[in-house]
A and B are shown apart, each in its own frame.
Chain A
């Protein structure tokens, strides 16, 4: 059992609670940086994919996990990021280093503008509005064909920074390191935000809008900011997804992707940055796991390859349903419980992490 002895006020808002935690994270970072030396090119591509999903997950986590606003339409921001980034490069001739942050800024601004009118909505109504926005985005992409290429899509050029090419196949190591660097930057920014007044305001709004207002938080401004920041981070992931895919159209970022994103962070664990990464790991390696299981099963039964369309989505849905029913805190929440059990070894009590169930008071008058 570790007792953290705090000797200054800064200890309360430091990024790490104690030196051991810092060294664990540095070790993890070193391992992540050394990954290209350990994996073959195919697995490295998957790892890059996981990192990109993790960035998108962090974008949504900021909104859902910390600001408490549901969004069923985050694929719209992925799409906006991908299209803005690619168009800035091809039409405006900007370098990647400029177009990526600019795409994020554009998405953030659009998100702020778009969410201003729907900010009054709560809970499920907000979710519906975002869902409608996401469906509309798909159609707008088709209607804006001169820019977006409509159904035939858009080709994303290779990432180039100072003459170095980061093609997915020609330079997988470079691309991985680039994505890793962006991931680390986003993660640090996110962690930093959470210990700043803005991040605290997000959490206050999540826990109770009324009390947040009473504490002097400008609820509407905080929600809009949460939406904008979330959209900006998600747009970065979208831009990277565009580059990874090479070509994308209106169906690349459809409503199912939005739902996948939401499911991902629920499985990972809402309300913690770790959850985004754990969820991304699940979503990234689930297809491989299913493929392995499928070939093992086919071998055991002595039949040829079994292909069932839609199996992955169904397995994913089943895993998600199991998590919601049996472990709503997600993977990271379960890990916290296990860790606490060991930290307090003989003194862990069964109901320590029991969640207060909030029974909905009906919102109806009659």
Chain B
């Protein structure tokens, strides 16, 4: 029964990695930019909710602070693209990477100044509750993470398959020029994709802060989520979730069955193996570049 508990907590972690990775992939697909600040946006979203919800700060009801925080992060994502990233259009990919790393540093600083550097956790309605089935004790927060991720995946699928905006985003990510000719406002779509990624980051952050404590350096989790995105196949939305789940599952099992130190190493070892043997990830979407 030990394995089942590891499985659930691994899945819950993996869902959070997957959600952050989804943000990476959304932005990468739409704008060909890699947003290294995604982890820090997750952290900021968590702190925003925490600042609105927790008694020590503003003490708003949980169901008010969550939508406000998600909307706030979406607005931040939109503004980041509209004000900064759009200017980088046409510069090398690595320049954009460095810019987003710099932005991440700034976000981390802002969060530290406002909310301090102590780890804090979100006072959600389900915090600390357990679910007992027979002899197994499962954290309700972990179950909630898995359910929310499943729901979110369904909503995202509907969004991309059924709505005009979702279709426009798909079109933009497949061929910018053709999308532009078809009357799709490509620049605004880019900014909206960033907004969507911001909202995803906020949701991931809320789930993360419900499950454990958060501090300004939690954004570094983004690196692991990034590894997850690459393992799954950078540029594939299901791949991002799959990669997240793989990383999330490998960590606790490696710690349990190999050695404690290996839980940190395994995600990156898998990443290197994937990069060497299947550089485009498990669900590959990238082919050889044409000249």
Contacts and interface: CB of A to CB of B under 8 A. Distances in A.
Interface stretch (B12-20, B56-64, B130-138, B271-279): B271-279
Contacts of B112: 309-310
A124 B269 CA distance: 18
A280 B273 CA distance: 35
Nearest to B259: A143
Contacts of B234: 125
B3 interface: no
Contacts of B276: 117-118
A328 B108 contact: no
B184 interface: no
A317 B99 CA distance: 8
A310 B88 contact: no
B5 interface: no
B227 A124 contact: no
Interface in B102-134: 102-106, 108-110, 112-113, 117
A86 B112 CA distance: 36
A349 interface: no
A7 interface: no
Interface stretch (B158-166, B194-202, B245-253, B283-291): B283-291
Contacts of B32: 360, 362
Interface residues of A, number: 53
B102 A129 contact: no
A182 interface: no
B106 A358 contact: no
A195 interface: no
Interface string B79-108: 000001001111111110111011111101
A336 interface: no
Contacts of B34: 124
Contacts of B226: 128, 131
A257 interface: no
A328 B105 contact: no
A193 interface: no
A366 B287 CA distance: 10
B93 A124 contact: yes
A186 B272 CA distance: 32
B99 A124 contact: no
Contacts of B91: 324, 328, 357
Given A142-B261, A255-B223, A309-B112, A129 B272 contact: yes
Contacts of A118: 272, 275-276
Contacts of A357: 89-91
A132 B90 contact: no
Contacts, number: 138
A313 to B, nearest CB: 5
A121 B88 CA distance: 24
A146 to B, nearest CB: 14
A266 B94 CA distance: 11
Interface in A323-364: 324-325, 328, 357-364
Given A128-B230, A129-B275, A308-B113, A325 B265 contact: no
Contact of A363 (B98, B220, B287): B287
Contacts of B104: 317
Contact of B223 (A64, A131, A262, A328): A131
Given A135-B223, A310-B108, A70 B94 contact: yes
A317 B106 contact: yes
A210 interface: yes
A361 to B, nearest CB: 7
A132 B106 contact: no
B235 interface: yes
B212 to A, nearest CB: 21
A316 B173 CA distance: 33
Q: Which of B110, B272, B290 has the most CB of A within 10 A?
A: B272
Contacts of A117: 276
A254 B104 CA distance: 16
Interface in A80-133: 117-118, 120-125, 127-129, 131-133
A263 interface: yes
Given A325-B84, A357-B91, A366-B174, A125 B102 contact: no
Contact of B287 (A259, A263, A364): A364
Contacts of B97: 70, 72, 124, 127
A128 to B, nearest CB: 6
Q: Which of A64, A358, A363 has the most CB of B within 10 A?
A: A363
B272 A133 contact: yes
Contact of A314 (B106, B175, B230): B106
Given A122-B289, A136-B269, 8 more contacts: A131-B223, A132-B271, A262-B98, A309-B112, A314-B109, A325-B88, A357-B90, A360-B93
Interface of B: 32, 34, 84, 87-95, 97-99, 101-106, 108-110, 112-113, 117, 173-176, 216, 220, 223, 226-227, 230, 234-235, 261, 264-265, 268-269, 271-272, 275-276, 279, 285-287, 289-291
30 contacts: A64-B94, A72-B97, A117-B276, A121-B279, A123-B93, A125-B234, A128-B271, A129-B271, A132-B268, A132-B272, A135-B223, A139-B264, A139-B265, A262-B98, A263-B101, A266-B98, A309-B112, A313-B105, A317-B104, A318-B106, A324-B98, A358-B90, A359-B89, A360-B93, A361-B289, A361-B290, A363-B286, A363-B289, A364-B174, A364-B285
Q: Which 3 A-B pairs have the closest CB atoms?
A: A314-B109, A317-B105, A357-B90
